[in-house]
Amino acid sequence: MQGKLASSLRGRDFLSLRDYSPEEIYYLLDLAAELKKKLKAGEPHPLLAGKTLGMIFTKRSTRTRVSFEVGMYQLGGYPLFLSADDLQLGRGETIADTARVLSRYLDGIMIRTYSHQEVEELAAHATIPVINGLTDFLHPTQVLADLLTIREKKGKLKGLNLTYIGDGNNVAHSLMYGGARVGLNVTIACPPGYEPLPQVVEEARRLASENGSTITITDNPMEAAEGADILYTDVWTSMGQEAEAEKRRQAFRGFRIDGQLLALARPDAIVLHCLPAHRGEEITDEVMDGPQSAVFDQAENRLHAHKAILAALL
């Protein structure tokens, strides 16, 4: 079965977790855990020797850039950083033509940008795997690392309760898709007007019903936190929304993970944040630096999860 799964992933795009079966997601998690173990043991694993990954960034990044770049290096390949200023896209070359040309040079493309449509267009015209490193719509590579972290801390995924407190953004969308695929019960608590997109909620609920889990949307963060195994948050204002920052600060008051909210969750609950954090806004220092925080283990697991994606697809 593992061999069949491995061959089914080779050459695939990684645009959304909804495109991957539960078995395929678990295969990637197992591979990530294996690669993490090899790295910790100092065991070389040049699975991508001689291969090159093009990394297109139109959005700034710390974790995505460093983890993919270091991960490709550890796998024996070569990571090529391409900013918007490095490509002819900014001067009118089409995404389709860029995809066709890069496919002649590279073995894979990772892109972090604003428009999800651009990523889909790039994938449609590329003949090599395209990995979605983040768009305004989805952040699937982040959530694969989140699932890895939860499984490490809890020993399982199916049947656990994950509560996300904050904006119904790209991370929330991917948490719903990923949770639905692996049987996590996902609750999204956000202020009115900041809910996840209805079509994502509907699709995630359909997927969740196939795997015996639930997707819940609420505007009551305290009710949402009760009985949670995992509390998760993200910044209130994402990149590109800076003009709305003050309005969002007002709207999201009460949607903060602090000691009071954490006390409502299970005693052994863990806290996650995809980073960067605006300490004092969506999360307090007390929680982020506290004993229940798995935030920096989660950040580390971006490296291992991304390596699994690269090794499986390229």
Q: In what order do the strands lie in the sheet with 161-165?
A: 215-218, 185-189, 161-165, 230-233, 270-273
Cis peptide before 276 (omega within 30 of 0): yes
Answer whether 132's CB lies under 8 Å from 16's CB.
yes
**pLDDT tens digits, 139-197:** 999 999 999 999 999 999 999 999 999 999 999 999 999 999 999 999 999 999 999 99
Q: Are residues 150 and 96 in the same domain?
A: no
Task: Tell me what percent of the residues of the chain surpass a pLDDT of 90.
Answer: 89
Residues pairing with 189 in the sheet:
165, 218
Residue 116: give the domain boundaries: 2-138+302-313
How buried is residue 300: exposed, middle or buried, by Cβ count under 10 Å (0-12/13-18/19+)?
Answer: middle
Please indicate, yes or no, whether residues 65 and 96 belong to a single structural domain of this protein.
Answer: yes
CATH number of the domain at 94, please: 3.40.50.1370
- Catalytic site residue from 18, 112, 116, 256: 112
Number of residues assigned to the chain: 314
Q: Which residues pair with 162 in a beta bridge?
A: 186, 230
What are 256-308's pLDDT values in tens digits?
Answer: 999 999 999 999 999 999 999 999 999 999 999 999 999 999 999 999 999 99
Q: Tell me, yes or no, if 139 is annotated catalytic.
A: yes
The pLDDT value given to residue 91: 66
Q: Decide if pLDDT at 240 tops 80.
A: no
Does the annotation mark 234 as catalytic? yes
Is residue 190 annotated as part of the catalytic site, yes or no? no
Confidence at residue 238, expressed as pLDDT on a 0 to 100 scale: 76
Query: Annotated catalytic residue: which of 63, 116, 139, 306?
Result: 139
pTM higher than 0.85 for the full model?
yes
In whole angstroms, how large is the CA radius of gyration of the chain?
19
Same-domain status, 238 and 149:
yes
Same domain, 280 and 147: yes
Contact predicate 228/265, CB 8 Å: yes
Q: Does 142 qualify as catalytic in the annotation? A: yes
Q: Do 50 and 197 lie in a common domain? A: no
Tokens 């991917």 found at: 174
Do 169 and 74 share a domain, yes or no?
Answer: no
Question: 234 and 192: one domain?
Answer: yes
112 carries an active-site annotation? yes
Q: What is the pLDDT of residues 29-71, one digit of tens each?
A: 999 999 999 999 999 999 999 999 999 999 889 999 999 999 9
**pLDDT-based confidence at 102, cuts 50/70/90?**
very high
Element (H, E) at 212: none
* Same domain flag for 105 and 193: no
Predicted confidence (pLDDT) at residue 84 exceeds the cutoff of 80: no
| Overall domain count for the chain | 2
Are 241 and 130 part of one and the same domain? no
- Judging by DSSP bridges, how do beta strands 130-134 and 161-165 pair with one another? unpaired
CA distance readout (Å), 74 to 23, 47, 67: 26, 9, 10
Nearest to 188 by CA among 214, 204, 166, 160: 166
Is 244 found in the same domain as 107?
Answer: no
Judge whether 10 counts as a catalytic residue: no
- State how far the alpha carbon of 193 is from the alpha carbons of 19, 219, 239, 251, in Å: 28, 10, 19, 9
β-sheet bridge partners, residue 131:
14, 110
Confidence of residue 83 (pLDDT cuts 50, 70, 90): confident
Residues 118 and 204 in one domain: no
Query: Residue 178 and residue 1: Cα distance in Å, rounded?
Result: 22
pLDDT computed for residue 6 by the predictor: 87
Instruction: Write out the two tokens for 130.
Output: 């395209």
Contact predicate 294/153, CB 8 Å: yes
Annotated active-site residue in 116, 190, 274, 306: 274
Least confidently predicted of 48-57, 128-137, 232-241, 264-273: 232-241
Which of 109, 108, 125 lies closest to 117 in space, CA to CA?
A: 125
pLDDT higher than 90, residue 244: no
pLDDT attached to residue 1: 56
Active-site residue, selected from the candidate residues 146, 167, 229, 234:
234
Q: What is the pLDDT of residue 87?
A: 77
Q: Which of 116, 151, 181, 302 is catalytic?
A: 302
Are 197 and 210 part of one and the same domain?
Answer: yes
Q: What percent of the chain has pLDDT over 70?
A: 98
The residue-averaged pLDDT of 97-116 equals 96
The active-site residue out of 74, 107, 136, 142 is 142
Q: How many alpha carbons fall within 13 Å on the CB side of residue 104?
A: 4
